[in-house]
Amino acid sequence: MTCAEVEELIELYVIGALPQQEGREVASHLDTCPGCRALEEHAREVAQVLWLGVEQIEPSPALRSRVLALVRGRPEPVPLAGSYAPAPSRLRAILGWLTPAQPVRIAAAIAAIPLLLSAWLAFQVMELRSEVQSTETALVSSWNTSQAAADIMGKAMARGGAMASLDGTAMAPEASGMLYYMPAEQEAVLVVRGLPELSRGHVYQCWLMTGERRMNAGTFYRESDGRGMLVVKSPMAIDAVEAVGVTEEPHGGSMEPQGERYMWGRVRRV
């Protein structure tokens, strides 16, 4: 491209009105031409002050708190995958039912019931105890996950940390997300929002992509408000990964991506 051609396009270039190829040609010329670079800087001044013509709007106070918490290494509480929030009250309800006084009343009631019904009731009690233990285990697991996520995000927000943004595909145009990580490490936290509800028996699965390789990074469920979170464990340093994606898979996940892709983001430039 000649200087005359660049001079004709420079205003379009600084406000982003050039198609990609034309923009690259102008940028390439500017790399080698100080005279045109000076024109570009001057034209950019006008683009910069255009922003001053826009109404200033106060964002929510919560945003300021969130940003400051992130830079102070204390991530704001993040939503967890799955429905862990109601579980404590369910647990309390179940534990409350299984108080020491209850077994006595249950035994008395069972003695008055035909044998078949007693067996059915005993089976229900066994199922309930198993559910209590599962719920306790799930709660402990959720707590450990949230702690791990907080640690990773805290490090990512500190010096040397990194983030990669994800956008929704046609399957989830409103979705967006962020992968928080330390470049040389193999753990990261994926935080997403705006995901649609999946049909029963399906789960979101995260994939780390390098070349043709698709590495399973874990599955997660969507909260009722469309948010989700996953602690990602990678077989390689995160900054060696090229991209991260989220697909819909059957419950339990898949060995390879099978379902539709809902989100995608680039981790490093190739």
Partner 1 sequence: MHPGSDADQALVLRVAQADPDALDEIYGRYARSVYGLAYRILGDASAAEDVVQEVFLKLWRQPSSYNPERGSLGSWLLGVGHNRAIDVLRRRRTHQEQPLPEAGEPEIVPDGLVDMADAIGVRQASEAVRRALMHIPPEQRRVIEMAFFEGKTHVEISNELQEPLGTAKTRIRLGMRKLRALLEAEGIVTQLNDVR
3-state secondary structure of 110: helix
Tell me whether residue 193 or residue 219 sits nearer to partner 1 (CB atom).
193
CA angle at 22 for the pair 243 and 44, rounded to the nearest 5°: 90
Residue 223: closest CA among 259, 258, 195: 195
Closest distance of CB 44 from partner 1, Å? 8
Closest distance of CB 188 from partner 1, Å? 15
Amino acid at position 255, single letter: M
Tell me whether residue 93 or residue 170 sits nearer to partner 1 (CB atom).
170
CB contact at 8 A, 82 and 229: no
Tell me whether residue 27 or residue 87 sits nearer to partner 1 (CB atom).
27
Closest distance of CB 29 from partner 1, Å? 17
Closest distance of CB 176 from partner 1, Å? 6
Summarize as ranges the residues that interact with partner 1 (CB under 8 A).
Answer: 8-9, 11-12, 14-19, 35, 38-39, 41-60, 63-64, 66-68, 70-72, 157, 159, 161-163, 165, 167-170, 173, 176, 193
Closest distance of CB 173 from partner 1, Å? 4
Closest distance of CB 180 from partner 1, Å? 10
Q: Which value, in Å, is the radius of gyration of the alpha carbons in the chain? A: 27
In Å, how far from its chain's centre is CA 178? 6
Tell me whether residue 94 or residue 162 sits nearer to partner 1 (CB atom).
162
Tell me whether residue 176 or residue 210 sits nearer to partner 1 (CB atom).
176
3-state secondary structure of 197: coil
Tell me whether residue 62 or residue 116 sits nearer to partner 1 (CB atom).
62
Tell me whether residue 161 or residue 218 sits nearer to partner 1 (CB atom).
161
Closest distance of CB 229 from partner 1, Å? 16
